[in-house]
Amino acid sequence: MRIHHQPYHTIWLSEAHKVQVIDQRLLPHRFEVKQLADTSSVVTAIADMVVRGAPLIGVTAAFGMYLASKEALQNNDPKAYLQLAAQQLRSARPTAVNLAWAVDQLESILMKLPPASWPERALELAEQLKADDIGYSEAMGENGLPLIEALTQQHPNRAINILTHCNAGWLATIDWGTATAPIYKAHRKGIPVHVWVDETRPRNQGASLTAFELGQEGVPHTVIADNTGGHLMQHGMVDLVIVGTDRTTATGDVANKIGTYLKALAAFDNQVPFYVAAPSSSIDFQLQDGLSEIPIETRDANEVKWIQGWDGDRLTKVLLTPEDSPAVNYGFDVTPARLVTGLITERGICTASEAGLRGLFPERFPND
């Protein structure tokens, strides 16, 4: 997708084999590329949300394993070094399963090889995960497009109104996004769409990132305060909700950015279809019950108490609350499968249920 008319991915390797990412903490006000030189800078970039979004976190961690495999060769015990680096990467953020999914894959493959071969193989694997992610996003775009096309049959004379939460756009992946992929496909096909963008407190990924990337692609959109969605749905102003996911269980429970559950409740009450774009890399086929089994990240309370913005000259932070009021910052919530109309995956759309996922991903379930 494009920034200032130039096509970009969210992560790439420079000619000198340095890992480059877009510093997402500064968007939409400043566009800066940041170099991640070693494993610890990758861990920090994930934890501080220089990069964020489940698929991008996974691919970034894979490039972190590439850097770790080079560092390991300078160490007396390369295997112990790589295992420790894998552990540090895995624990940078807890909720998105893509992180462990990517690190585990590289770790298990590299551990079977002689250390001298690790950097070359790790780089191949990281590039492969990156390419796969682009493929998943494009496929989810194609699979989700008919949902929007069907709505144009019902409403031929107006734009289709789609509500999304947080940033499940291309900035959260490598390209296309998850929830936004069907929207970009529809827009490029000339189907009139309009996106309601939840601001997504406390870090405002909707207001800053989703609004930015939709604007750069020329997709009509309107930013709304987080509490607005229910009102819009009651007044027939939302035709479809599409959100992303950080971890979806084998039974279809969906963890996504805090506030997603409330949107699902409002959609259910107003018979608005509520879809979740879920690449297989975000599905945790080991888990059965989202509420009790998905770890929910709790972040620094200062992200709730302070807000970042542009004062016309520079990025600045201001305090919103009384200085000594306590705050709490849960990063994600779980939407039970019963509130989800369907999962849009790279293999097609299914119900948010074990039967639905089993139909599309039979190899991920034990034979019984």
Contacting positions for ligand MRU (CB under 6 A): 52-55, 96, 166, 168, 172-173, 177-178, 205, 244-246, 256-257, 331
Distance of closest approach, residue 170 Cβ to ligand MRU, in angstroms: 9
Q: How far is CA 309 from CA 171, 172, 277, in A?
A: 19, 20, 29
Q: Of 67 and 255, which CB lies nearer to ligand MRU in the complex structure?
A: 255
Q: How many CB atoms lie within 10 A of CB 128?
A: 12
18's CB contacts (< 8 A; 6+ apart) are 35, 36, 37
CB of residue 255 to ligand MRU, shortest distance in Å: 8
- Of 246, 253, 284, 333, the active-site residue reads 246
Nearer to ligand MRU, 213 or 239 (CB): 213
Q: Using an 8 Å Cβ cutoff, are 267 and 274 in contact?
A: yes
> Rounded to whole angstroms, what are the CA distances from 29 to 177, 216, 299, 312, 315?
21, 13, 24, 10, 8
Provide, rounded to whole angstroms, the least separation between the CB of residue 93 and ligand MRU: 7
Give the CA distances from residue 284 to residues 223, 242, 288, 294, in Å, rounded to whole numbers and listed in that order. 31, 20, 9, 9
SS3 279: coil
State which residue has the least CB distance to ligand MRU: 244
Nearer to ligand MRU, 82 or 258 (CB): 258
* Distance, CA of 76 to CA of 44 (rounded, Å): 25
Closest contact distance (angstroms) between CB of 270 and ligand MRU is: 22
38 is catalytic: no
List the catalytic residues: 246
